[in-house]
Structure 1
Amino acid sequence: MSAKPILEKLAVLADAAKYDASCASSGTVKRDSVASKGIGSTEGMGICHSYAPDGRCISLLKILLTNFCIYDCRFCINRASSNVERARFSPQEVVRLTLDFYKRNYIEGLFLSSGIIRSEDYTMEQLVEVARILREEHRFQGYIHLKTIAGADPGLIALAGLYADRLSTNVELPTEAGLLSFAPEKKPETIRKTMASVRVGAEAAKSRLIGKATPPRFAPAGQSTQMIVGADAARDDDILKTATNLYSGYQLRRVYYSAYSPIPDASSDLPPVRPPLMREHRLYQADWLLRFYGFERAEIMEGASGGMLDLAIDPKLAWALMRREAFPVDINRAPRELLLRVPGLGTRAVDRIVAARRLGKLRLGDLAKLTASVKKVLPFIVTLDWRPGKLTDSADLRARFAPPPEQLALAL
């Protein structure tokens, strides 16, 4: 087959893949310690598509196997009834593109999703075949993220986990009511069953690891999912409740929040404009508080109006303003758990503070060297030479940090 049809397909299927946000590649391990045994790498720098938590740029070829789909989810641009240009790769074409892009140093890995064709099992077989050819026939050692197809045979999910670094199954919408309304062909219990299969596979791999030096080979970067924000009536509280249940129930590595993007010929009950991107941003901040800062969902939503996060200020600051009695915090004495609740202090800054205060009492100048957010921190902390006085209880404290209305309007 000539290169031109493949490139035309690439234009269609790369564009169609942009709606899936769950393509970060953090948390994987090197597949081979001997570089000469294979090609590709999960490490290094390249053309950036996403970022790892340590700041590394991760370049990925992010495409769909096909945007044909037998489902007619009303929020999806690739739904069966959508009047969009269609294309389909063969597994061999995806392999060829991945290897060609890698050898030119364009990418470090592959993110592969797909519309559902023929059946869930058939589509999953095609996705697994791409990963199998890359791993077994070409010894590709780079990163592979496969989108699992909800309802596919557990045996196929198990195979996918052997070849892929990360697996993801999208829950699509935050609530079962929303999914049943906008995508009645997709069943919440089927999605949960597939996610459970991934968790079981990962736990089985870890149990086999006991007493062995070989790292687990089942999706070592874990599993993730994505929720569309703003397509239905789900509130931020509903979204965070679902995320919390997913983290605890299926050991997810990440939940991604994707602001709904209006699509052509959409049904009348879908919003005509996308929700504020700031809403998506606030949800990510709240998600971070849940996973890394010791917050409970109920704490984050304290004082939230109508179950919605405050768009003007970040959720940690909103919580602190509701709990002023907890402040100021003594930087030199407070436990790490309490320091993590100080607005403006991130996990790295807190770890630096805890390490530095072992060597002596910290002053405000010392703190300025450990964090870039001193101005935001001042009302909430005490150091050897600083006390906020009445600043902590100031009535205009919120106004000090909230952007002016015209700036917030631009952000929305």
Structure 2
Amino acid sequence: MELLEKLTILSDAAKYDAACTSSGARRGYKEGFIGNTSTSAMGCCHSFSADGRCVTLLKVLLSNQCVYDCKYCVNRRSNDTPRAAFTPEELAELTIGFYRRNYIEGLFLSSGVLRNPDHTMELMIRALQILRETYRFNGYIHAKAIPGAAPELVERLGLLADRLSVNIELPSEAGLKSLAPDKTKGAILAPMRQIQTRGVQCKEELVKYRHAPKFAPAGQSTQLIVGATADSDLRILRLTQGLYDRYRLKRVFFSAYVPVVAHSLLPSRDTKPPLLREHRLYQADWLLRFYGFRAEELLDEGTPDFNPLVDPKCSWALAHLEFFPVEVNTADYEALLRVPGVGVVSAKRILVSRRAGTLRTEDLRKLGVVMKRAQYFLTCRGQMSEGLRFTPESLLRNLIAAEQPGLPGARMEQLSLFGA
């Protein structure tokens, strides 16, 4: 098979993996090497760096041949699809060729399971060794560790890659048993624990020895499929919270299930991917990582799924009206972050600006506050926005209208929610 034909098959097979980012890598210029990851906030696969630059990488599978039969996967062994596999030498040569042509700035490498996890990992390691040692490639590499592989292979892979990831895929053990019977919870979590522990050790070694080898310096991530099983948003969010707490993951990615294969246990082929649900989970993930929320605050057994009409922060605010209004001139940072329309940057700006004097309502928009949401939940010098009148019943309609301006029902009512 021609190399270009292999690339067409294997790059297309990799498109369903969303756990792909270069954020956190620090690989600057090194004499005698080519390529670099210039900042600690890089993106990849058409995401953006801190300076606004679009950064791309080659996102490809080593092989789409797989001995596993995961029901949701287009590369499962029972699926009739064209198969291909790179040799380590072909993959390394292809990557460095693309880099020299300025097509890419790094590599995202995953693979189906060839023969067994250990054999697959050995091939991946060989490809990365050729890139790092033969071609002296110093750019970003994100590699997928194969669940069930030997710990020493995970160690070797982590010393060659900037970021590692182990995809959990399904949010519950029951879903894993029914849709991916060849995988086990223990086999997935074991390398995640090893990566987390080894990363801590690496940081301690670097404090003592400046030139100690770096193990996956950009950390680890994982991916969860949304919509392939009946798992609720609450279960997914609890799992996400647990992964951040126990394994110190950099990111948990959510992938709306695309019905690419037909099976009785899966949604039908004509089912649309739950893209809005995926979006709400990403918004909730942001609240967990940067806003101090916990999973149990955002959802509970009585409300196990997010409201599709408003974002999770607004949903929380509507369920906790006793917390509001927040006075912007006296509230602490944590309280400001709870206000819909106030983000991390705007909350910090408020804290800095109010040192110079009392803030007014018209000042908030200049500080980055999204007033179409925030106006219902904050006060300046004890007063809400002039002329603002609404009731608890109309508040939800107004927030929906703020998020979806084309919808009717945004008329202001004549009573204030928080008193006269």
Query: TM-score, normalised on structure 1?
Result: 0.92
Give, in angstroms, the shift of residue 199 of structure 1.
1.2
Residue of structure 2 in register with 1:108 after alignment = 105
Q: How many residues were matched structurally?
A: 401
CA–CA distance in structure 2, aligned partners of residues 40 and 195 of structure 1: 28
Specify which of 32, 37, 50 is matched with residue 32 of structure 2.
Answer: 37
Residue of structure 2 in register with 1:298 after alignment = 296
Give, in angstroms, the shift of residue 330 of structure 1.
1.0
Residue of structure 2 in register with 1:283 after alignment = 281
Q: Does the 8 Å contact 1:12/1:87 carry over to 2?
A: yes
Q: Does the 8 Å contact 2:196/2:248 carry over to 1?
A: yes
The reply on whether 1:319 has 2:341 as its aligned counterpart is no
Residue of structure 2 in register with 1:19 after alignment = 16
Q: Does the 8 Å contact 1:313/1:402 carry over to 2?
A: yes
Question: What is the correspondence of 1:3-402 to structure 2 with a 5 Å cutoff?
Answer: 5-30=2-27, 32-34=28-30, 36-43=31-38, 49-52=46-49, 55-214=52-211, 217-264=214-261, 266-272=262-268, 273-301=271-299, 305=303, 307-371=304-368, 373-384=370-381, 386-388=383-385, 391=389, 393-402=391-400
| Distance 1:303-1:248 versus aligned 2 partners, 3 A rule | closer
Deviation readout 1:83-137 (Å, 9 max, x if unpaired): 1111111111111111111111111110000000011001001111111111111
Q: Does the 8 Å contact 1:237/1:308 carry over to 2?
A: yes
Question: Quick one: which amino acid aligns to residue 38 of structure 1?
Answer: F
Point out the more displaced range, 43-52 or 113-122: 43-52
Give, in angstroms, the shift of residue 56 of structure 1.
4.2
Point out the more displaced range, 170-179 or 95-104: 95-104
* Partner SS, residue 142 of structure 2: strand
CA–CA distance in structure 2, aligned partners of residues 23 and 46 of structure 1: 9
Q: Does the 8 Å contact 1:61/1:109 carry over to 2?
A: yes
Q: Does the 8 Å contact 2:140/2:162 carry over to 1?
A: yes
Q: Does the 8 Å contact 2:327/2:382 carry over to 1?
A: no
CA–CA distance in structure 1, aligned partners of residues 207 and 198 of structure 2: 15
Q: Does the 8 Å contact 1:70/1:117 carry over to 2?
A: yes
* Partner SS, residue 155 of structure 2: helix
CA–CA distance in structure 2, aligned partners of residues 53 and 155 of structure 1: 35
Q: Does the 8 Å contact 1:26/1:53 carry over to 2?
A: no
Q: Does the 8 Å contact 1:302/1:322 carry over to 2?
A: no
Question: Quick one: which amino acid aligns to residue 267 of structure 1?
Answer: H
Deviation readout 1:232-278 (Å, 9 max, x if unpaired): 110000101111111111111111110111013x2112001134200
Question: Quick one: which amino acid aligns to residue 43 of structure 1?
Answer: S
Q: Which runs of no fewer than 5 residues in structure 1 stay unpaired?
A: none
Query: TM-score, normalised on structure 2?
Result: 0.90
Moved over 6 A (4+): 44-47, 404-408
* Partner SS, residue 287 of structure 1: helix
Question: Quick one: which amino acid aligns to residue 41 of structure 1?
Answer: N
Give, in angstroms, the shift of residue 394 of structure 1.
3.6
| Distance 1:158-1:42 versus aligned 2 partners, 3 A rule | same
CA–CA distance in structure 2, aligned partners of residues 391 and 173 of structure 1: 45
Question: Quick one: which amino acid aligns to residue 89 of structure 1?
Answer: F
Give the number of the structure whose residues are more often helix, by fraction: 1
Q: Which runs of no fewer than 5 residues in structure 2 stay unpaired?
A: 408-420
Give, in angstroms, the shift of residue 406 of structure 1.
11
CA–CA distance in structure 2, aligned partners of residues 40 and 5 of structure 1: 27
